[in-house]
Structure 1
Amino acid sequence: MHDIRAIRENPAAFDAALARRGDAAMSEELLALDTERRAKIQAAETAQAEQNKASKEVGAAKGRGDEDEFQRLRALVAEKKAEIAAMQSDAKDLDVQLTDKLARIANAPAQDVPEGADENDNVEVNRWGTPAELDFEAKEHFDIPAVSALMDFETAAKISGSRFVLLKGAVARVHRALAQFMIDTHVDQNGLTEVQTPVLVRDEAMYGTDKLPKFGEDSYQTTNGWWLVPTSEVPLTYSVAGDVLEASQLPIRMTAHTLCFRSEAGSAGRDTSGMLRQHQFEKVEMVSITHPNESDAEQKRMLRCAEDLLEQLGVPYRTVILCTGDMGFGARRTFDIEAWLPGQNAYREISSVSTTGDFQARRMNARFRPEEGAKPEFVHSLNGSGLAVGRCLIAVLENGQNADGTVTLPDVLAPYLGGKQTMTLEGNLV
């Protein structure tokens, strides 16, 4: 969330940041609400002072036996009390309006984020690996002979509808192995703390991590009010809500493997074949809570953690920095990692690593004390996929496919598969 004080101090800079995202200027509208709100608060305080003065004089008038003055002052006290209540109510309503408007405005992009309208204006910053030159026509994951019978979309549709899948046998085991490999790498090599989180969260957690109020349609809400998490970024980040941390506690680095749920609102007709875009999927998430001075370096560290996973799996990828028009609502800078998918002959997103600055921290009042006795400041929060398990499965299967329809699996997964590294046409692991 944006700081109204910063908007007061430099409305032109605020509007310029919105313009970079392609949004209309809003400082005039926000400051008009803010001015009216502050005027109501000031008027209520003035009336409160007048009421307090009149209240003191009531007793004096009664003591003097001045009945007329006593009655006038009593009426004045009652009048001021009613005025104060009305002005405080108006100020509260204006504050709600202002907060709601601020909550719906996207984060300001960092200065080094490239200008652009959409994904076509993203800028490549890194590339690793060379896509293999296959002497056969590459298939998409769901058409690979060793895979197709073990990736059941028809039965899943019977159970749950479109955009669900049943993974069976060897494919299910490889999917599980990938998640274990990711978590173990983050814990053992990257120094993250594994957390087992809820996947049902309250409104406050969704709001604090900028998923509400603007994007409620993108998530699922239960009949009793809980939300199914779109990613474990929500419970991991919100775990520090309302806290005042000591500087020595930072950075806090966490990872979690959870189910994730997204309605995919607005994505009708996109990636309907296969399991690239599902309503229910699994992801290993990384979240860091940092000192503001360290957040940019932390984003680079998190990016390397995600890239290294693909390198260990032998999956070619490219990394892009998202332009202003393609960046998510809460991010001030985002890097996407796109894995090479031979079946699509294209790079597709498998991880996003974002820094939000203090945007989420303001919404959930997460602060730290720079030094003993110092005034608390807002922390910075970062999040990143490390990685999307289903999409990683797709990349591993497509890059490992052979001309005979079998799939050769990465060496690093062998310890999780009993030393087996090949998926056979019969659906077995050998």
Structure 2
Amino acid sequence: MTFNPLRERGIPLDKQIRNWRELNVMPIDPDHADPYTRCRVIAMNGIETEAIFFSHHMARHCPSIDIKQQLARVRYIEAQQQKVVNWLLPGVASVLETTIAYEQVAVDLTAWVARMEPDPYLKQAYQFGVLEDFDHLYRYSNLYEMIEHRKAEKIVDNLTEIMPGRPTPLHHRDPMDNVRDPYDRSTAAPISKLHALTIMAAEQQTMNFYMNVGPTYMEPIARQLYQEIGLIEEEHVTHYESLVDPGESWWEMLLNHEYNECYLYHSFMETESDPKVKNIWELHLNMELEHLRLAAELFKTHDGRDPEQVLAPELPAPVTFEPNKDYIRELLATQIDYTTLGTGYVQEAHERFERMQEQLMGGEPAPSQVAMQENVHKSGEEYRLETEGPHPVPSLRRR
């Protein structure tokens, strides 16, 4: 059955405010919840956070007090939604356990988007990024074993493999080489715009999370590893946000944000295994339908076009969290040695890359290298989680 959110009516805005009791949701069970339920929670937290940030930025550039007030009303509801979604995460989970879940989101969400993306250039951007997130999952899993003496397999539940990707020290590039060419808003498929917004928001939330939780650790190697990977997440946000056409008007960007929220809530409602969480996705979808309607009215009034000229006539196939093991292994076998040069990709290190490596490393090993060495020293071997079947052994220049 097709679902066109532009043709659906949601909950009126003045009926959307929830009281404290309604906001105080029961978190998921960290021991028994589907790991992909946790992934959906983390992903939607990033989407809602981006919606709030974007609304604030739009308001700062808007001279109309009436529009500022409408943005503020919707934004308050988005803030309530973000609190409900993020508060589904269990408080008993350690920061590192949540971090490993964040990286599982990055791996399986980005891999799924890469598989579904119709534009070859955009597909390459997601394929490039996912091999780096894959290595971050590996590094944090070793830190988890070293500090908390536990295995990450319980968190990812064998749905996502844990082994080396593109080595984390090699992710540090000249900032100018993190900027990609944008899609063309006049010719890009609607799904491509949704993909770009989704991965940009997810990476932005990961960047924000590491910026805030990194200094809460006492262990020097943990503080250093969060600092290093946090810098790489900044690179990733630059990488993904540059895919969005900057020629889109504020009204078109607002419309795309609201449509994407409808798309993801509908996707997660369709694929959620936890009935309690599924009900939250459904409620929030019905709220977002009204937010989309309001954005569509602003778009028609101020952009002068019909929303259906820029949006998909119906929601695409649902975004799905699922194992991507074979796909990741294929990328490891074919793209492990890629880096970026300008807006493209190369397989040989270039002058700017080497200069950045020299400036940042300062002749010392990167924290991501030290973390591996320390875990091998304490545990006797590095931690990996590999499932059945042959797998490539990447030729790593710097582990």
Q: How does the TM-score come out when normalised to structure 2? A: 0.27
Instruction: Indicate the structure whose relative CO is greater, using CA pairs within 8 Å and at least 6 residues apart.
Output: 2
| Greater fraction of residues in helix | 2
- Higher Cα radius of gyration: 1
| Greater fraction of residues in strand | 1
